[in-house]
Chains A and B, each alone.
Chain A
Amino acid sequence: MKELPLKLTGTKITVIVIIAVLFFVPIMLSGPLQLRFVDILQMGMIWVIMASSYRLITMTGQLSLAHGAWMAIGGYVTAVLSTTSGGLVNYGWNWWATIPIAIIVTGICALPIGLICLRVKGLYFIFMTFGIALLAQAIITSWTSATGGTDGIASVPSPTLGSINFSGSEGSTAYFYLTFAFMLIALLVIWRVESTRLIQLTDQAIRQNDNLASSVGIRVAKYKVLNFTVSAMLAGLCGSLIAGYNNAVAPSSYLEGLLPIVYVIGGGREVLIGPVVGALAFSGLPELFGIPTGYEPIFFASILIIIITILPGGLASIPSILRRRFSKKEVIMPSQWV
Chain B
Amino acid sequence: MAPLLEVKEITKRFGELTVLSGINFGVHKGEIVGIIGPNGAGKTTLFNIISGYLKPTSGTVELNGESITGKPTEDIAKCGLVRTFQKPNVWPAKTMLENVRIGLHTRARVKFIDAFLGLPKAKRAREAEEVEAMERLRLMGLNEMAMQKAANQSYGRRKALGIAIALAANPQVLLLDEPVTGMLDTETRRMMDRIRKIRDELGITVLVVERHMKFVMGLCERIVALDYGQKIAEGTPDYVTSHQEVIDAYMGVD
Contact = CB atoms under 8 A, between A and B. Distances in A.
Interface in B86-144: 89-95, 98, 101-103, 105-106, 108, 110, 112, 115-116, 126
Interface stretch (A144-152, A176-184, A213-221): A213-221
A209 interface: yes
Contacts, number: 90
Contact of B90 (A204, A209, A220): A209
A198, A216, A335, most chain B CB atoms within 10 A: A216
Q: Looking at chain A's contact residues, is the secondary structure mostly helix, strand, loop, or mixed? A: helix
Contact of A217 (B74, B93, B110): B74
B31 to A, nearest CB: 22
B110 A198 contact: yes
A218 B106 contact: yes
Interface residues of B, number: 36
B78 to A, nearest CB: 5
A215 B82 contact: yes
B168 interface: yes
B102 A336 contact: no
Contacts of B51: 215
Contacts of A213: 74, 102
Contacts of B149: 335
A212 B94 contact: no
A335 B105 contact: no
B169 A217 contact: yes
A328 interface: no
A196 to B, nearest CB: 5
Interface in B58-98: 72-75, 77-78, 82-85, 89-95, 98
Contact of A218 (B85, B98, B105, B126): B105
Interface string B33-74: 000000000000000000100000000000000000000111
A208 B92 contact: yes
B74 to A, nearest CB: 4
A204 B94 CA distance: 10
A212 B106 contact: no
Query: Contact size class for A?
Result: 20 to 34
Contact of B72 (A204, A209, A214): A214
Contacts of A209: 89-91
Given A192-B116, A217-B105, A205 B73 contact: no
Q: By CB atoms of chain A within 10 A, which of B72, B91, B108, B149 has the most?
A: B91
Contact of A212 (B72, B90, B112, B126): B90
In the A-B complex, the 3 residue pairs with the smallest Cβ-Cβ separation, listed nearest first, are: A217-B106, A217-B77, A216-B169
Contact of B78 (A192, A217, A337): A217
Nearest to A205: B102
Contacts of B147: 335
A82 B195 CA distance: 67
A65 to B, nearest CB: 26
Given A215-B166, A216-B169, A337 B98 contact: yes
B77 A214 contact: yes
A214 B74 contact: yes
B173 interface: no
B94 A336 contact: yes
Interface string A198-210: 1101101100110
